[in-house]
Structure formats: structure tokens, C-alpha cells
Amino acid sequence: MFCYQCQETAMNKGCSMKVGVCGKTEDVANLQDVLIYSLKGMAIYAVKLREKGGLPTDEIKVFMAESLFSTITNANFDRDVFVNRIGEALRLRDELKAMAEKAGADLSDVVHDAALWSGSSAEDFDKKGEEVGVLMTENEDVRSLRELTIYGVKGMAAYTTHAQHLGFENEELFAFMEKALADTLNDNLSADELVALVMETGKFGVESMAILDKANTQTYGNPEITKVNIGAGDRPGILISGHDLRDMQALLEQTEGTGVDVYTHSEMLPANYYPAFKKYSHFHGNYGNSWWMQKEEFESFNGPVLFTTNCIVPPKKDASYADRVYTTNACGYPGFKHIVEDGNGKKDYSEIIEHAKKCKPPVEIESGEIVGGFAHNQVIALADKVVEAVKSGAIKKFFVMAGCDGRMKDRNYYTEFAKALPKDTVILTAGCAKYRYNKLDLGDIGGIPRVLDAGQCNDSYSLAVIALKLKEVFGLEDVNELPIAYNIAWYEQKAVIVLLALLYLGVKNIHLGPTLPAFLSPNVANVLVEKFGIAGIGTVEDDVRLFMGE
Ligand code: SF4
Ligand code: SF3
């Protein structure tokens, strides 16, 4: 195996032993490589089909997006899932080929093995996994640009899938994902063309976040300022994690009147900010912190847990909660029960609800409230107040600190950085990165809290909308003239698409930590430094001084 797609990769070089730092085993890593390779094979035919004016079927588009999603860090550890998906990919690849042929495409130049290889058994796929993967591309710069694209596309696929679950689709996104997958096999592309592909990935990254924003807000209303209870009640509960709001809705509907409460964990916290969910009195609040605390927090929660997306941490052998965890959508773990839709597109959560009824209520691990709900609509409603505070000098600078949290100790940097920021600064956050500072008492500036949480990592889109709105209000030419600094934390591939989206929007001088991605070769990193002023992080003291221009 060789995997270097996340921030916690071994030695910041790559996971290449029997198991990755995340707990992904060698066989699963190899099967994920084969799945990506097979999707690239599908993409070659999909591009040909579209060139002739044809369209892949809904089944194919959904399959490709969900398959990409399933390979995101901590999403799916289940070998059987990947074996099945590879088989499906080969079947759908043949279907696409037939469709392209029928549409009149010339397939004589389709010679890449990804489009031609065949296999039918788990053994065949395991064997293929020894041949294909990241290291197939020998030139480290080409590899770097290809993987940067693929990781961005994985994040894009996740957001596209959530939007699609709510009935919102953008055909261009599917077409781009296919093109990008196919282009990463094309040896004729120059380095400049690959850099352009990376930028184009950012462009469609913005689109994927925009459509998900539209899907979430048109379906569930605009997030609004909300005090979220972080304590525990005295009834049994179900803990829901991940990013999929449609699952949130179904769970709230089905638990109503059952005597079971619903709590959010990690990236589902922002569900508390949506009007459509607030109306449920049994929606108790948020329990715990970000994903990597789950080993302790799932123990003390006592009730069942539902994962709607990444991030799963493999449970310890003696974990009391392993038989209480359920998964749905693209995520999975061997031994966890997986919930699928029925023929009518509905999910039945009655098993989880019955399970919850037999469990003890959660143990309270903290109490009080946290405030959030500062997505674009809410912040723009407060724009006068915000602009006034900037003009009067009450707010000197905003710090975008969106992104991911992770388990490594060096992430304490973000807590210390938040604490060390001058009192006339405001943190704009999104994603699970917020758990490093959202429970600190950082106070407010004339009623504006010093930590404004827009929502999930995809709601980084809101932060971009807010920045563009401020640029307009202040009559500036360039978004970089605003008093906004970017100190972003990353972990998995959704943060990669967020980063590429910000670059596409022209944001410069983003600091990225706690370490720069291992998949950036020195030359590619240099391009990002020279073109965009990307930098890593230093010490808290130095960075605060640097950002404050002292
Ligand atoms: Fe390693 Fe991250 Fe890949 Fe897991 S996802 S195998 S930790 S690089
Ligand atoms: Fe978090 Fe996994 Fe990335 Fe969606 S839940 S930000 S790490």
C-alpha cells in the first residue's frame, strides 16, 4: 500500500506499512486504489460519450461520486464494500463503453489499461491492487498534481452527493469529475496543463459547495444564531455524526414521540442551526467534540451512533460501543450495521430507535451552551453591525480558521493561537477545526461573538460569500485587501477542495497546517508559494505577530 492523502500520513511522507495511521489496512488501501483506477477507466468512456452529446445514466453518475466519496480518509474500512464496488465499476464501465459506441464515438485511441483490464473475483482485485496506485506515476511533480486533483475531486464528490440526496444536481460537476479522472491518466498533459486542471478543480469546488449550500438552505432554511446545549438529558439518545442533513431530518422525524433524544456529534453540530430541525423538542443538542474523540465519547454516550459520512475511527478491540454503531451512505466499517434506502428512497431507522430504547441515557461530560449559526445569510443580516465595528476599529481583523481537526498533539497550536489573538479580532470558522477553540470563552465585540461558526467544512462557502460581500460593501477591488487572514487546518480531502476553492476565488497568503500536505512535491509546493503565497505555520507567537503585521 501507499497512501499519502491525509495530513496524518506516516512521517508526513506516506503510509506504506501493513496499516495506515488511520487504521486502513493494506488490502483495503489497495482495493481503494483499484476502485479509483476503475473509475478512471469509466471516466475515459464517459468523456467520449459526452463529446458525442450523450449523458451517463443517473446510476453511473451517482455510483462514481459515491465511490470517490467512499475512499475519503476515515469513510469506509470495509473490504467487501470495495470488492463489490470494483465489480460494479467494471460492469458500468462496459455499459458506458457500449453507450459511447452507440453514440458514434471513436474508441480506437482508448488504449489505457484502466479502460481495458478485467477481473471478476476478490483475488483478481487484490492482485490488481499490487500493480496500480499513486506510485504508478513516476515523476513526483506529475504525481503531485494528479493526486492534488484527485483529492480535490474526492471532496467535491462528497459535497455533490449530499446535494444530490436533497434533489439538487449540477450536470457540469459530474462532467468535470469525469474529465478530471480521465485527465489524471493522460501522459500528454504538460505540467502547466496539470496546474490548470488543479485550478479548474477549485472552480468546480466552489460550484459543489454552492449547490450544497443551496440544497441545505432551500430544504431546511438558513442557519441562524443558535445556542446549542452541550449537556446531556435523562432519556436515551441517538448520536448522529457526519455531514448528511437528509439523514438528520429522517432521524428526527422517525424518533419523534418515541422517548428517544437526538444529539449531534462532530460535523453534525451545525444541524442545530437550521430552522427546520430546531422545531423538534427531542433534538437535545450536541454531545462531545470532533471525530477523533469518539473512542471515549461513544463509550460515555451509552446509546447508538449513526455515521452519515467520515470520520470513523476503528474501535478498540474491547470497545463497549462497537455493536451500537450504524453507518449509512458511503461510509462503513466491518461489523457496523449499514442502513440502506428501501425501494422508495426512504431509510428506516426503527432498528436504531429500538436499540436506543434499551440503552442508558448519556453520561454528561460537559454542560452549558455554545453559540453558532453564522452562515452567510445570518452574517449578511448583521452586516451593518459588522461593517460599523470594522470602521470604528472595534474589529481590527478577521481570521478564517476553517477546516479539519485531527488527533495529533501539534493541533494544540490552534487552541493556543485562538487564545493568543488580540481581543479586537474575530475568528470565522467552519468544519470540525472549530472544536479546538469553540468552547473557550473568547468573549464578544459589541455583541458580535469572537468565534463565528458558519457550519460544516462545506460551509466554508459561506465564509467566501461573506468575504465577497464585505469586499463589495467596502468598495474594494480585490478580496485580499480586506482585513481577513487565513489560517486553515486540514486533515482529509474535503479540506483539499475547500483550499482549491479559495485559491480559485483569488485568496492569497493562506497558511495551511499543522503540516503541509505530503503529496505536494517540492516543486508543486513552490508553485503554490509563488503564485498564491501559501505558507505553513510557525510558532503561535511568531504567527500572531506576522498576521497582525507587527
Ligand atoms: Fe495514511 Fe491518511 Fe492514507 Fe490513512 S488516509 S492510510 S492515515 S495517508
Ligand atoms: Fe472533519 Fe472529518 Fe475534515 Fe468536514 S469530520 S471537516 S475531519
Q: What is the ipTM metric for this complex?
A: 0.97
* Domain of 274, in residue numbers: 226-357
Note the pLDDT tens digit of each residue in 172-211. 999 999 999 999 999 999 999 999 999 999 999 999 999 9
- Smallest CA-to-CA distance from 79 within 14, 41, 26 is with 26
Q: What are phi and psi of 81, to 5 degrees?
A: -60, -45
The response to whether residue 404 sits with its C-beta less than 6 Å from ligand 2 reads yes
Task: Report how far residue 321's alpha carbon sits from residue 289's, in angstroms, rounded to the nearest whole number.
Answer: 17
Residue 265 in domain: yes
Domain count, the chain: 3
Q: Whose CA is nearest to atom 6 of ligand 1?
A: 20
Residue 362 in domain: no
Question: Does one domain contain both 183 and 48?
Answer: yes
Note the pLDDT tens digit of each residue in 344-355. 989 999 999 999
The grid coordinates listed for 248 are 438528520
Question: Does one domain contain both 194 and 254?
Answer: no
Note the pLDDT tens digit of each residue in 31-42. 999 999 999 999
The response to whether residue 72 sits with its C-beta less than 6 Å from ligand 1 reads no
Looking at the chain, the number of H-run helices and the number of E-run strands are 19, 15
Query: Which of 186, 219, 252 corresponds to the end of one domain?
Result: 219
Question: Does one domain contain both 72 and 184?
Answer: yes
Terminal Cα distance for the chain, rounded: 46
Instruction: Indicate whether 153 pLDDT > 90.
Output: yes
Task: Report how far residue 83's alpha carbon sits from residue 319's, in angstroms, rounded to the nearest whole number.
Answer: 27
Which atom of ligand 1 approaches the CA of 5 most closely?
Answer: 8
Query: Which of 219, 248, 277 corresponds to the end of one domain?
Result: 219
- For residue 550, the model assigns a pLDDT of 81
Ligand showing the shortest atom-to-Cα distance for residue 269: 2
- For residue 66, the model assigns a pLDDT of 98
Q: Which helix (H) or strand (E) holds 471?
A: helix 460-473
Q: Using most ligand atoms within 8 A of CB, pick from 8, 212, 432, 463 the residue to mutate for ligand 2.
A: 432
- For residue 311, the model assigns a pLDDT of 96
Question: Does one domain contain both 230 and 215?
Answer: no
Question: Does one domain contain both 139 and 273?
Answer: no
Domain harbouring 38, CATH code: 1.20.1270.20
The response to whether residue 15 sits with its C-beta less than 6 Å from ligand 1 reads yes
Which atom of ligand 2 approaches the CA of 431 most closely?
Answer: 6
Residue 369 in domain: no
Distance 292 CA to ligand 1 centre (A): 14
Query: Which of 357, 384, 413 corresponds to the end of one domain?
Result: 357
Question: Does one domain contain both 153 and 241?
Answer: no
Question: Does one domain contain both 57 and 96?
Answer: yes
